[in-house]
Amino acid sequence: MADVVTIGECMGVFFPPDPVTLDDTNKLLFDVGGAEANISIALCRLGVSARFISRVGDDPFGRRIRQVLEQEGVDTSALATDLEAPTGIFFREWLPDFARRVYYYRKGSAASRMSPEYLSRTLFEGARIVHLTGITPALSPTCAAAVTRAVELAEEVGALISFDPNYRARLWSPEQARATLLPIMKRAHVLLMGHEDAQAVFGVSDEDEILAAAVALGAQAVVLKRAERGAIGVEGNVRIEAPAHPAAHAIDPIGAGDGFDAGFLAGRLRGYDLAASLDLGARVGAACVEVLGDYNGYPRL
């Protein structure tokens, strides 16, 4: 049994050891990364049990993913090994100006072959939160169906549904994302959104308009993440503009949004109010940017 259950793709990731472009390096570090896996790791470091549902290939990347997740205490009982499809990989840069270039090689990956048939009620029983993102349904039609099934199972077991749109332009257009994600978002109890993601889904850029559109969907709590400008949280008649937590030395922004999500959800599970949950999310996100790697900077609080 896990407090939080999530479903998504974890990949092998390669990046230079120094803040240079991929064109200008002859060395690469190897680790793992992916929104839902990052969140699972961050939650476990915060003392929240998490189950990660996915598929990996029978290859070094899949074995490394399983090893890292298990070392971090993540429940991998629903992490299947696909003998016919590979684990997805990607390459990325981390640059002093925080500009990001990412190259994905995930088409036909093991994770993209997930489908509703792989999900059972027992995987969700006892969960207090089921956290989903907009990345998974963009991978394939069967993944989209699996996410919808995860929503149904979350409702069956009485878990809160948390959702982050996490829009990825390389996977689909805003119109495609909107058609698939809005029906899911209408069933979510908690919406955690980055500004660019929310803009793609709602088609507006003004923060007040974004928040109004999100609240209108019916979520109990809505959060708009604004990176170094902090976050805005809305719950009922309460609206809070929470500042960002200061980072001693910002190095790598990858994984900060996932860390914020994990901190916010951990706060809710601890019984924190909106302000305290936003603060914990900000603290985890800030710690992430101080360390190179998708999840390495997540603290234990």
pLDDT tens-digit profile of 48-85? 999 999 999 999 999 999 999 999 999 999 999 999 99
Count other Cβ atoms within 10 Å, centred on residue 81: 14
Predicted confidence band of residue 206 (pLDDT cuts 50, 70, 90):
very high
CA atoms within 13 A on the CB side of 234: 18
Is residue 250 over pLDDT 90?
no
Is residue 20 over pLDDT 80?
yes
DSSP state of 86: P
Is residue 98 over pLDDT 90?
no
Strands 221-225 and 231-235: antiparallel
- For the chain, give the mean pLDDT: 96
pLDDT of residue 23: 93
**Residue type, position 11, single letter:** M
Is residue 96 over pLDDT 80?
no
Q: Work out the percent of the chain whose per-residue pLDDT is above 70.
A: 100
Averaged over 281-296, what is the pLDDT?
A: 95
pLDDT of residue 251: 87
pLDDT of residue 101: 85
Averaged over 199-219, what is the pLDDT?
A: 96
Averaged over 187-210, what is the pLDDT?
A: 96
Which long-range contacts does 62-68 make (Cβ < 8 Å, 24+ apart)?
62/87, 62/110, 64/12, 64/30, 64/31, 64/32, 65/10, 65/11, 65/12, 65/32, 65/37, 68/31, 68/32, 68/41
Predicted confidence band of residue 3 (pLDDT cuts 50, 70, 90):
very high
Cα 213 to Cα 178, 205, 207, 217, 275, distances in angstroms? 13, 11, 10, 7, 21
How far, in whole angstroms, is CA 223 from its chain's centroid?
14
pLDDT of residue 248: 82
Predicted confidence band of residue 247 (pLDDT cuts 50, 70, 90):
confident
Which long-range contacts does 96-101 make (Cβ < 8 Å, 24+ apart)?
96/19, 98/250, 98/253, 100/253, 100/254, 101/21, 101/22
Is residue 262 over pLDDT 90?
yes
Averaged over 158-164, what is the pLDDT?
A: 98
Catalytic position from the list 258, 261, 279, 294: 258
The yes-or-no answer on residue 258 being catalytic is yes
Is residue 287 over pLDDT 80?
yes
